[in-house]
Amino acid sequence: MKKPPKRSRPANGPANRHVAALVYDGLCSFEYGIAVEMFGLARPEFDHWYSFGSYAVDRGSMRAAGGLQLRAEATLDGLAQAGTIIVPGWRGADAAPPERLLDALRAAHARGARLVSFCSGVFVLAATGLLDGRRASTHWRYADALAARYPHVRIEPDVLYVDEGQLLTSAGSAAAIDLSLHLIRRDYGPRIANQVARRAVVPTHRDGGQAQFIPSPLPEQGAALGKLLEWMRKHLDQPLALPELAERARMSERTLLRRFEEATGHSPKQWLTQERLARAREMLEGSDLAVEQIADACGFGSADTLRHHFRRSLQLSPARYRERFAH
């Protein structure tokens, strides 16, 4: 008799696996679709996967972007059963969330639930007061409005998402995918997150900040710069000084700096640090190499330098990161 296929059993998982996505009049369809794709699809290849439900903020029929009308069977009262609550965008930065929604979110947070916002959904979390004194992200177009309305929130304008434990916020629309995969990695480990990413045909890690998406002129020598970036990724273990990069790109140092920032939103030094951090994360997750060996292989030069950049970027030491995310 043919044996049934072996199922992937997550080593861990959240204590409460129920994910609740809010549905409201004016629903952002794309962000809601990401919540369904990441947490609501049946995944029989995994044991102990999330359960998922949609919860109506407003009564009756609601509109969604794209000319859709919808209803959700569950109401805000059901949020008491959720371990994770997702706010998939919001109907406007100036649209005040209903007080009963804010009360439900505060109560959920008080009992230990995680609150997650995609894109403009951060305005709802900020309205609860729970983000005061904490870091948060949103779409770069909304950063100034968020800062003006909620001055006590520490806005990170150039990151794809921010994890503050029970409070997680993502930047513009597609960054919701990055945050969702991060949450899956937190709950089930990198192997499961990688499988989910492959099924969705998206990268598991997408490094870099929002600056790369802010409108700017395309560099005239985009092809040459693209080849340089590819070469740099293959030689992260080397010093890669600016004069060498400029010579390889056949540009002056000043021109290279200007065109590099136009294309990536970062200086070569900043970009290299991000790429080296991404490589170090992969090696910490998938190898048993010592931190000193990983630092050398990624071009940091010393374990102390690697630890410095890890704490500055991820608020974790390499050892703690490996403990949390390694296989």
Mean pLDDT over 88-117 rounds to: 96
Average pLDDT, the chain: 88
CA angle 45, 174, 66 (to 5 degrees): 100
Strands 154-155 and 135-136: parallel
Give the integer Cα–Cα distance in Å for 97 and 167. Answer: 18
Mean pLDDT over 247-270 rounds to: 89
Mean pLDDT over 258-262 rounds to: 85
Q: pLDDT tens digits, residue range 114-159? A: 999 999 999 999 999 999 999 999 998 899 999 999 999 999 877 8
* Banded pLDDT at 221 (limits 50, 70, 90): very low
Answer for the pair 34, 118: CB distance below 8 angstroms, yes or no.
Answer: yes
Q: Is the pLDDT of residue 284 over 50?
A: yes
Q: What is the pLDDT of residue 327?
A: 57
Give the integer Cα–Cα distance in Å for 137 and 323. Answer: 26
Q: Is the pLDDT of residue 232 over 90?
A: yes
Q: Is the pLDDT of residue 307 over 90?
A: yes
Element (H, E) at 64: strand 62-64
Q: What is the pLDDT of residue 209?
A: 52
Domains of the chain, start order: 18-200 (3.40.50.880), 217-327 (1.10.10.60)
Q: pLDDT tens digits, residue range 62-76? A: 999 999 999 998 999
* Banded pLDDT at 3 (limits 50, 70, 90): very low
**What is the dihedral angle through the alpha carbons of 211, 214, 215, 218, rounded to the nearest 10 degrees?**
30
Question: How much of the chain, in percent, has pLDDT values that exceed 90?
Answer: 63
Answer for the pair 167, 110: CB distance below 8 angstroms, yes or no.
Answer: no
**pLDDT higher at 29 or 173:** 29
**pLDDT higher at 47 or 22:** 22
Q: What is the pLDDT of residue 286?
A: 84
Residue-wise over 94-129: b if at least 16 C-beta within 10 A, else e? eeebeeebbebbeebbeeebbbbbbbbbbbbbbbbe
Q: What is the pLDDT of residue 13?
A: 77
